[in-house]
Amino acid sequence: MNFQVFLDIATVALRILMPIYAVFIIYQCFASMRRQRRPEKPLVTLEIKNTGQKLPVLFWENSIGRSRGSDIVIADSTVSRDHCVLLRRAEGWFVSDIGSKSGTFINGEEAIGRERVLIDDEITVGTTTLVLKRGEEYQERIRPSWFFSKASDKGSLQPYKLMLLITFFHLFMAVEACFSNEVQDFVPLYVFGAFTVISWVFFLISAYAFNRVNFELEALGLFLSGIGVMLLVRQELRSAFVQMIAMTFGLILYSFLVKFIENPDRVNSWRLAIMIGAVGLLAINLVFGRVQNGAANWINIGGISVQPSEFVKIAFIFVGASALDRLQTKRNFIEFIIFSAICVGALALMGDFGTALIFFGTFILIAFMRSGDFKTLILALAAAVFGGIIVLKFKPYVADRFAAWGHVWENAQGAAYQQARTLTYTASGGLFGVGTGNGYMKYIFASESDLVFGLVAEELGVIIAFAIAIAIVALAFYSRAVTTRSRSSFYSISACCAAGLMVIQTALNIFGSTDILPLTGVTLPFISAGGSSIISCWGLLAFIKAADERTYSQKRILRGED
């Protein structure tokens, strides 16, 4: 056996190892999320004065009312269906009346706006009086969500170990790229070095400056972003550096957002400003937008191309979510609907139908989570179908995309050029890929962004490509699992919808490029090259981070509060 054959066997062995390794990393990220959760016990207890019955208060924000969907159900006909909200803030517990008929009284005095309540205070709703007691007063066991492991499970992987795993994965990609078929040099190692420095500095700041215990979400984000950067090295080196710089801004935005939304009430006072800012951004885009590939969704600021719609995604989630006592007000909801209509309309005007579709899908998610109303849902869908027909009528090039849809092989040199390449190179990669830098997909236009699924599948193999898709869906499952443990409905809604947005975007990206849906040209979260896109992904991740109550309650030194 000569040296070349030995080298080849080593290369193939590394390729087989990497998908297994990637799946292990993604598993570890989510396994850590499932652990380190405070035991399932009530935060406080409400005692019904007459009967002595004890009601556990499980959430940071609890609706009290007669309707069965309330968090605390009071079987008393004088109580409104949605009567008031009992909520917890850093300062303590508050009661807020949400338009009940008979009013809410604290120690006999009517509550106007949010009123502070202390242990042993009496809250009167209708003819029922509730006494606020400590959580320990409630003794029965409560069943935890399936997502989380039992408290007795072994501890999670130390964050720095997770980071080491990820760094080694990126190193393997860099080594592969160093020995790529066409070019052999050590440039990939420099890129790897730069990326590693950025991600470890971020980790250390998170752990020591912010004293955060958990790092799984960030680790997952860094893992995916790193794959995107390393794939760019042999495609266009400059883009790899641009991507890293953009990711750094993304990390800064992430840290800022997590801090900014720490107080859900402060968020509310900024809501209008954010809304106006986002609309303004879209207006600037509409006026100064540059047309690129059929959509005028770019603006140029001092030589840097920016895609404003990516940042509006974050504003969209902001405006959509709200704390429980403000969620019920009509004004809040109508503002959101108008804002959504402006966003979707502006994007349609720009010709960016992929992003418009993402916004619309997210709108449906938010609207339903707020109202639970199927009528709103059906009405919105009907409006969308109508809008879709109008678009097809007035923007014929969109219809052309539909024409090629499902007929890739007849149009492989024409309208379906990109999809045909994506499918061919996806299949060419096999399960384990042809190795970083060895692909041919990278020569196809937009293969680093809209068609990146093909690039990942070809160079890293189908296993990793699918694992990335599954990881993004798992984010949605995770967001759902932390819903009731969030410190405010603002976090629950924003996390679920931010994850939902990413799932919709991933679906449009993967299924669009592989001819299961028409090609709309949107990015794959974290992986696709594109500065605005990756910054926005990190911004969205902040919402998911904030929804986990551990983010703000657990500190590195003093573990656990309750």
Q: Which of residues 3-22 bind another protein (CB under 8 A)?
A: 4-5, 8-9, 11-12, 15
Kindly tell me which of 144 and 277 has the beta carbon lying closer to another protein.
144
Kindly tell me which of 346 and 503 has the beta carbon lying closer to another protein.
503
From the list 136-144, 162-170, 463-471, 538-546, the region that binds another protein by CB under 8 A is 463-471
For residue 224, the minimal CB distance to another protein (Å) is: 17
Kindly tell me which of 142 and 201 has the beta carbon lying closer to another protein.
142
From the list 46-54, 102-110, 479-487, 519-527, the region that binds another protein by CB under 8 A is 479-487
Kindly tell me which of 281 and 503 has the beta carbon lying closer to another protein.
503
Which two tokens mark 76? Answer: 């008393």
Burial code (b: 16+ CB inside 10 Å, e: under 16) for 224-253 equals bbbbbbbbbbbbeeebbbbbbebbbebbeb
User: Rule CB under 8 A: is residue 42 a binding residue for another protein?
Assistant: no
Render 542-559 in DSSP notation, one character per residue. Answer: HHHHHHSTHHHH--SSS-
Kindly tell me which of 298 and 333 has the beta carbon lying closer to another protein.
333
Contacts of another protein in 250-309 (CB under 8 A): none
Contacts of another protein in 305-344 (CB under 8 A): 324
Kindly tell me which of 499 and 534 has the beta carbon lying closer to another protein.
499
From the list 245-253, 277-285, 303-311, 471-479, the region that binds another protein by CB under 8 A is 471-479
Contacts of another protein in 497-516 (CB under 8 A): 497, 499-500, 503-504, 506-507, 510-511, 514, 516
Burial code (b: 16+ CB inside 10 Å, e: under 16) for 452-481 equals bbbbbbbbbbbbbbbbbbebbebbbebbbb
Contacts of another protein in 54-113 (CB under 8 A): 58-63, 69-71
CB 432 within 8 Å of CB 15: yes
Closest CA to 206 of 255, 256, 156: 255
> What distance in Å separates the CA atoms of residue 125 and residue 106, rounded to the nearest whole number?
9
Total chain residues near another protein (CB under 8 A): 72
User: Hey, what amino acid is at 346?
Assistant: A
Rounded (10°) angle between helices 452-460 and 417-429:
20
> What distance in Å separates the CA atoms of residue 114 and residue 129, rounded to the nearest whole number?
18
CB 428 within 8 Å of CB 434: yes
> What distance in Å separates the CA atoms of residue 534 and residue 239, rounded to the nearest whole number?
13
On the 0-12 / 13-18 / 19+ scale of CB atoms within 10 A, 393 is: exposed
Which two tokens mark 136? Answer: 């320990």
For residue 458, the minimal CB distance to another protein (Å) is: 8
- Which of 484, 553, 555, 556 binds another protein (CB under 8 A)? It is 484
User: Rule CB under 8 A: is residue 456 a binding residue for another protein?
Assistant: no
At residue 461, φ and ψ (nearest 5 deg) are 100, 160
CB 85 within 8 Å of CB 95: yes
Decide: helix, strand or coil at residue 487. Answer: coil
User: Rule CB under 8 A: is residue 423 a binding residue for another protein?
Assistant: yes
> What distance in Å separates the CA atoms of residue 436 and residue 253, rounded to the nearest whole number?
30
Contacts of another protein in 349-388 (CB under 8 A): 361, 364-365, 368-369, 372
Closest CA to 95 of 325, 338, 423: 325
For residue 69, the minimal CB distance to another protein (Å) is: 4
Kindly tell me which of 91 and 182 has the beta carbon lying closer to another protein.
182
For residue 279, the minimal CB distance to another protein (Å) is: 26
- Which of 298, 353, 432, 526 binds another protein (CB under 8 A)? It is 432
Cα 302 to the center of its chain, rounded Å: 30
For residue 498, the minimal CB distance to another protein (Å) is: 10
User: Rule CB under 8 A: is residue 480 a binding residue for another protein?
Assistant: yes
For residue 280, the minimal CB distance to another protein (Å) is: 30
CB 100 within 8 Å of CB 147: no
For residue 500, the minimal CB distance to another protein (Å) is: 5
Contacts of another protein in 175-234 (CB under 8 A): none
Kindly tell me which of 308 and 512 has the beta carbon lying closer to another protein.
512
> What distance in Å separates the CA atoms of residue 44 and residue 88, rounded to the nearest whole number?
10
For residue 213, the minimal CB distance to another protein (Å) is: 24
Kindly tell me which of 71 and 216 has the beta carbon lying closer to another protein.
71
User: Rule CB under 8 A: is residue 131 a binding residue for another protein?
Assistant: no
Closest CA to 537 of 105, 228, 174, 129: 228
**CB atoms closer than 10 angstroms to residue 315:** 22
Kindly tell me which of 170 and 421 has the beta carbon lying closer to another protein.
421
Kindly tell me which of 488 and 532 has the beta carbon lying closer to another protein.
488
At residue 380, φ and ψ (nearest 5 deg) are -65, -40
For residue 321, the minimal CB distance to another protein (Å) is: 10
Kindly tell me which of 324 and 537 has the beta carbon lying closer to another protein.
324
Kindly tell me which of 479 and 554 has the beta carbon lying closer to another protein.
479
- Which of 28, 96, 156, 489 binds another protein (CB under 8 A)? It is 489
On the 0-12 / 13-18 / 19+ scale of CB atoms within 10 A, 207 is: middle
User: Hey, what amino acid is at 242?
Assistant: V
User: Rule CB under 8 A: is residue 414 a binding residue for another protein?
Assistant: no
Q: How many residues does the chain have?
A: 562
